[in-house]
């Protein structure tokens, strides 16, 4: 949990420093700076996925937890106006589940997420943004078990997503990126047809990467 807080704090501090510098950079008059309606932004990030787990029923009694993961993430943003964009985020990760009975096995998570974003200072070199939207999470390739008995999980869920980040332009088309997201996702688990409860994963996701403007 301390690692989670430190990671989020570091990312938010970076975004805060960028916000403080916005006005100084915006006044440079460089016509190649900024983003505009019709631009497509493509980002590649390394993300740290930090589940904030909550459970109920038998899952709570077993102290079920989900481990962190670091994976690549690809996203595409289309600017429908100078300040407003729509972003699609694509990534997948594998997580191990633990309990008081030991390791329960692993499951893959695929949560494509669609966000509506507002970009501040769109003509400048430092461009903070915020976003809100929805994610669809698909659980697959699971090998969850207790002993030799398989644990079944609900394959999909829908949930909200929130985002804050900043793009820092490096060249005419290349920029650096820091991004923080909160995504709500859950699944129901059962054993031999009997419900074990609901597992809420609800991760914080902190990402650092680069992007290109087209």
The domain that holds 42 is classified in CATH as 2.40.160.20
Distance CA 89, CA 176 (A): 17
pTM: 0.83
pLDDT digits 0-9 by tens, 131-161: 999 999 999 998 899 888 999 999 999 999 9
Q: What digits encode the pLDDT tens for the residues 176-198?
A: 999 999 999 999 999 988 999 99
DSSP 56-68: -HHHHHTT-EE--
If one counts the domains in the chain, the total is: 1
Residue 9: strand, helix, or coil:
helix
Q: For residue 166, what are the domain limits?
A: 2-213
DSSP SS3 for 180? strand
Q: Measure the CA–CA gap between 60 and 65, rounded to whole angstroms.
A: 9
| DSSP classification of residue 206 | E
What is the spatial distance between Cα 20 and Cα 34, in angstroms, rounded to a whole number? 17
Burial classification of residue 104, based on how many CB atoms lie within 10 Å of its CB (0-12 exposed, 13-18 middle, 19 or more buried): buried
CB 79 within 8 A of CB 106: no
pLDDT in tens, 1-38: 455 555 555 555 555 444 444 444 444 445 567 999 99
């Amino acid at each position: 949990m301390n690692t989670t807080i430190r990671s989020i704090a570091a990312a938010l501090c970076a975004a805060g420093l960028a916000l403080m510098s916005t006005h100084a950079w915006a006044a440079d008059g460089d016509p190649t700076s900024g983003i505009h309606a019709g631009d497509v932004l493509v980002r590649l990030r390394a993300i740290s996925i930090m589940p904030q787990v909550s459970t109920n029923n038998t899952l709570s009694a077993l102290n079920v937890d989900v481990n962190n993961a670091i994976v690549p993430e690809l996203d595409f943003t289309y600017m429908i106006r100078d300040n407003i964009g729509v972003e699609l985020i694509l990534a997948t990760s594998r997580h191990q589940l633990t309990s008081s009975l030991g390791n329960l096995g692993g499951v893959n998570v695929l949560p494509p997420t669609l966000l509506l974003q507002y970009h501040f200072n769109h003509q400048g070199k430092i461009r903070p943004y915020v976003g809100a939207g929805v994610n669809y999470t698909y659980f697959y390739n699971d090998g969850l078990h207790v002993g030799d008995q398989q644990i079944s999980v609900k394959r999909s869920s829908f949930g909200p997503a929130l985002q804050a980040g900043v793009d820092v332009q490096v060249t005419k088309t290349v920029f650096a990126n820091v991004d923080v997201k909160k995504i709500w996702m859950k699944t129901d688990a059962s054993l031999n047809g009997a419900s074990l409860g609901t597992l809420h994963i609800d991760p914080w996701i902190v990402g650092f990467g680069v992007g290109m403007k087209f």
